[in-house]
């Protein structure tokens, strides 16, 4: 068994072992005493001891593991990657010679290999790794349980080796870095039917207008993938229907996440509250996707909105994994920029998860055109007049007040309530 450190050790360190230190000190004393007493043999013995230590240091200090005839390579596999916060991932690290020879096999047999992982990937102070030595390779396996959402570094590996006399030990980085994408946890949410203009059928000029669901499906034709059958439409229409191909022209829905809610450093309570907001936005976006609406998750500051009407839960979760926090001033500027981008983009519905709305934000959001517009206020100010909630409602926005760690299911239900 071996331990994998959280933080990278200083690369390329070479140090004397206790045996090497003793030999160097004794050799130096012998040289001094022998020279003082004119004892050439004692001086020679002492000098030989010192020279042996010096040669061992130089030999290991100049040795390279990633180049030359004895080069080694590292293959790292993380499963699953991307993973989810709190979900274990298995890591396999394989060290093997580029060109198998007796010399490289001997070098591999004398190496002690450990792994480095970011603190965000670990829930324990250190990780327990299992090392398996095979004739032509070394395999290190261990388990990660990510504690934080984000994109975190893994590696490089550390290769430690001691010389044949046990005098010097060197530690060098081996291989490159790998990235582990940690997605936020999401709450499974059921589909909620509502009778808004987005979902219900209406009558115009004596003809029924199809609901948004109708534009997502079409009749089955020979050769269609059976996995694309839309059973709800089959039950409603009485004939076989399949989900339409991507690019059908249906405008997407958008969930905007205010980056001002995300706190990367500071008190644990504030950090946890920010992560709850990320998980709330991701859960809402994934639920909207699963209810049949093409949906994108946009961190505030996004100046462009995806034009594709398609969307996927994987894309939503990957976007949420990469969200970084912003200062209060940056957050307001970013939220305004995204609101202005939405003004020029055709979208069916907009859900904004924000911590505060200034007058400038209210003005920008008020001009967003969408069938349904919802603002989820996390940690709202005390006075509705101060945060512009009244003005947003006058613009047709449905405003929901919530707080960190409230049940996501309650927010999801409120999002689907009728706009007053």
pLDDT band at 218 (very low <50, low <70, confident <90, very high): low
- Other CB atoms within a 10 A radius of the CB of residue 61 amount to 13
Q: What is the pLDDT of residue 191?
A: 63
Q: What is the pLDDT of residue 237?
A: 79
Q: What is the pLDDT of residue 246?
A: 45
pLDDT band at 275 (very low <50, low <70, confident <90, very high): very high
Q: What is the pLDDT of residue 299?
A: 95
- Token match 């002492």: residue? 46
State the Cα–Cα distance between residues 29 and 178, nearest whole angstrom.
Answer: 48
Is residue 387 over pLDDT 80? no
Residue-wise pLDDT tens digits, 144-166: 999 899 999 998 999 999 998 99
Per-state percent for the chain, helix, strand, coil, to nearest 5: 35, 25, 40
Helix (H, G, I), strand (E, B) or coil at 293: coil
Range with lowest mean pLDDT among 18-22, 75-79, 382-386: 382-386
* Assigned token pair, 197: 């203009």
Across the chain, mean pLDDT equals: 82
Q: What is the pLDDT of residue 291?
A: 79
State the Cα–Cα distance between residues 399 and 389, nearest whole angstrom.
Answer: 7
Is residue 196 over pLDDT 60? no
* Assigned token pair, 4: 């994998």
Q: Specify which residues 349 forms β-bridges with.
A: 372
Q: What angle do CA 233, 236, 240 make, to 5 degrees?
A: 50
Q: What is the pLDDT of residue 308?
A: 61
Q: What is the pLDDT of residue 167?
A: 95
Residue-wise pLDDT tens digits, 2-12: 444 444 444 57
More confident residue, 357 or 283: 283
State the Cα–Cα distance between residues 140 and 96, nearest whole angstrom.
Answer: 12
Whether the CB-CB separation of 310 and 294 falls below 8 Å is answered with yes
């Amino acid at each position: 068994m071996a331990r994998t450190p959280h933080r990278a050790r200083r690369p390329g360190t070479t140090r004397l072992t206790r045996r090497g230190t003793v030999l160097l000190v004794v050799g130096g004393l012998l040289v001094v005493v022998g020279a003082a007493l004119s004892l050439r043999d004692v001086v020679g013995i002492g000098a030989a001891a010192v020279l042996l230590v010096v040669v061992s240091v130089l030999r290991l200090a100049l040795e390279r593991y990633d180049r030359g005839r004895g080069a080694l390579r590292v293959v790292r596999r993380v499963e699953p990657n991307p993973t989810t916060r709190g979900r274990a991932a298995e890591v396999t690290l394989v060290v093997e010679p580029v060109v198998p020879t007796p010399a490289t096999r001997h070098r591999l047999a004398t190496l002690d290999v450990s792994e480095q992982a970011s603190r965000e990937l670990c829930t324990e102070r250190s990780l327990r790794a299992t090392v398996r030595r095979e004739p032509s390779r070394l395999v290190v396996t261990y388990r990660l349980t990510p504690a934080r959402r984000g994109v975190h570094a893994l590696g490089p590996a550390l290769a430690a080796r001691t010389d044949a006399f046990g005098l010097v030990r060197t530690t060098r980085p081996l291989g490159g870095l790998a990235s582990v994408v940690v997605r936020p946890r999401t709450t499974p949410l059921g589909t909620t039917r509502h009778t808004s203009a987005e979902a219900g059928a209406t009558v115009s000029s004596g003809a029924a207008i199809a609901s948004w669901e109708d534009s997502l499906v079409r009749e089955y034709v020979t050769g269609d993938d059976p996995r694309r059958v839309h059973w709800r439409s089959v039950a409603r229409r009485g004939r076989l229907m399949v989900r339409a191909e991507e690019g059908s022209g249906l405008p997407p829905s958008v969930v905007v996440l205010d980056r001002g809610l995300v706190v990367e450093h500071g008190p644990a309570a504030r950090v946890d509250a920010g992560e709850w907001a990320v998980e709330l936005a991701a859960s809402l976006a994934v639920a909207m996707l699963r209810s049949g609406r093409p949906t994108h998750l946009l961190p505030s500051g996004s100046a462009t909105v995806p034009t594709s009407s398609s969307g996927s839960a994987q894309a939503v979760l990957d976007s949420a994994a990469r969200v970084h926090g912003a200062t209060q001033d940056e957050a307001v500027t970013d939220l305004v920029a995204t609101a202005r981008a939405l003004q020029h983009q055709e979208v069916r519905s907009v859900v904004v998860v924000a911590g505060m709305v200034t007058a400038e934000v209210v003005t920008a959001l008020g001009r967003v055109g969408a069938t349904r517009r919802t603002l989820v206020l996390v940690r709202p100010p005390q006075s509705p007049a101060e945060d512009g909630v009244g003005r947003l409602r006058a613009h047709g926005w449905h405003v929901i007040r919530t707080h960190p760690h409230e049940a996501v299911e309650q927010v999801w239900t409120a999002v689907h309530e009728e706009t007053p």
